[in-house]
Amino acid sequence: MTTMIRDSWTMTQRGLAHWVRMPGQVIAGMAFMIMLVVLFGYLFGGAMRVPGGGDYLEFLMPGMFVMAVTFGIAETMIAVQADADKGITDRFRSMPMSQAAVLAGRNTADMFNSVANLAILIATGLVLGWRVRGSALEAAAAIGLLLLLRLAVLWMGIYLGLLIRSAGAAAAVQTLLFPLTMVTSTFADPASMPAWLGAIAEWNPLSATVYAMRDLFGNPGAGGGSWVAEHALLHAFAWPVVLLAIFVPLSVHRYRNLSR
């Protein structure tokens, strides 16, 4: 057990060292999210109607947090795929280290990374005028749910990273993230979309998390009316847990079966 903790820490340090060695990549990722906030908040913000009224930036930010966290899946997937591709995973597998630490270290490193990302995005929102209007406890719950979602997509990323063979496939999966994160209630009220698209957006599990975030942060557009929005909190908690229940065992199985 102590071996596992020690090795996990070494693996975490490796992830953090990557971060220090490649600040460009990290900064680019953050700059992209900040750019989206500014772009949507200011460029389209004026033309957008917030359901139930209210400030568009306040409507937007909770969805941006969800989006940023969801994009984390690509980071994890690409890192895991690259390690397998370069043979580093094999080196770890041929060493007398804790094998659980390989996956655990990936988890902690990526979670550290996400916490920092989220902090910067929250700071950006605050600077631009977004406000937390709920209680501190609710805000903490919101951040907790975001990190739960990050953990869920992290394990999805590990599984996909072990599954796909090439960096090209990783890029393809990454591209799919755009429609997945855009067709939600993040940018506009699904009720304002064409019926079929609105239905997809409303039932996109990410929308439930977005509704829950708005509710907990006390921001406008928390919805009401639709069944998904009514039970947003429950959904926002339940579906990442379901993902974890699926992808943790799948990933562990896949890692073990690298020796097949």
Partner 1 sequence: MPAILAEGLRKRYGSKEVLSGFALSVREGTVCGLLGPNGAGKTTAVRILSTLLRPDGGRAEVAGFDVRTRQADVRRRIGLVGQNAAVDEVLSGWQNLVMFGRLHHLGTRAAKARATELLGRFGLDETGKKPVKQYSGGMRRRLDIAASLILAPPVLFLDEPTTGLDPRSRNEVWSMVRELVAGGTTVLLTTQYLDEADQLAGQICVLDSGRVTAEGSPGQLKSEIGGDRLDVVVHDAADLARAAGVLARYSESPPETDADERRVSVAVRDRVTALTRVAGDLAAEGITAEDIGVRRPTLDEVFLHLTGHKEKETDLTGRKKEVVA
Write out the residues near partner 1 by the rule CB under 8 A: 3, 6-7, 10-11, 13-14, 17-18, 21-22, 86-88, 90-97, 258-260
Residue 164 CA to chain centroid, in angstroms? 20
Residue 78 or residue 236: which is nearer to partner 1 going by CB? 78
Q: Using the 8-state DSSP alphabet, how is residue 51 labeled?
A: T
Q: Considering the complex, what minimum distance in angstroms separates the CB of residue 22 from partner 1?
A: 6
Question: Shortest distance, CB of residue 78 to partner 1, whole angstroms?
Answer: 13
Which of the 8 DSSP states describes residue 78? H
**Identity of the residue, 195 or 259, whose beta carbon is nearer to partner 1 in the bound complex:** 259
Q: How far apart are CA 211 and CA 218, in angstroms?
A: 10
CB 69 within 8 A of CB 114: yes
Closer of 18 and 231 to partner 1 (Cβ): 18
Please state the closest distance from residue 95 (CB atom) to partner 1, in A: 6
- CA-based torsion, 199, 239, 82, 36: positive or negative: positive
Q: Ramachandran region of residue 221, left (φ > 0), alpha (ψ -120 to 50) or beta?
A: left
- C-alpha–C-alpha distance, residues 104 and 3, integer Å: 12
Query: Is 11 or 210 the residue whose CB approaches partner 1 more closely?
Result: 11
Compute the distance between CA of residue 230 and CA of residue 78 in angstroms, rounded to an integer: 36
In the complex with partner 1, the residue whose CB is nearer, 133 or 254, is 254
Nearer to partner 1, 19 or 237 (CB): 19
What are 188's two structure tokens? 């506009």
Coil, strand or helix at 179: helix
Residue-by-residue DSSP string for 201-225 = HHHSHHHHHHHHHHHHHT-S----S
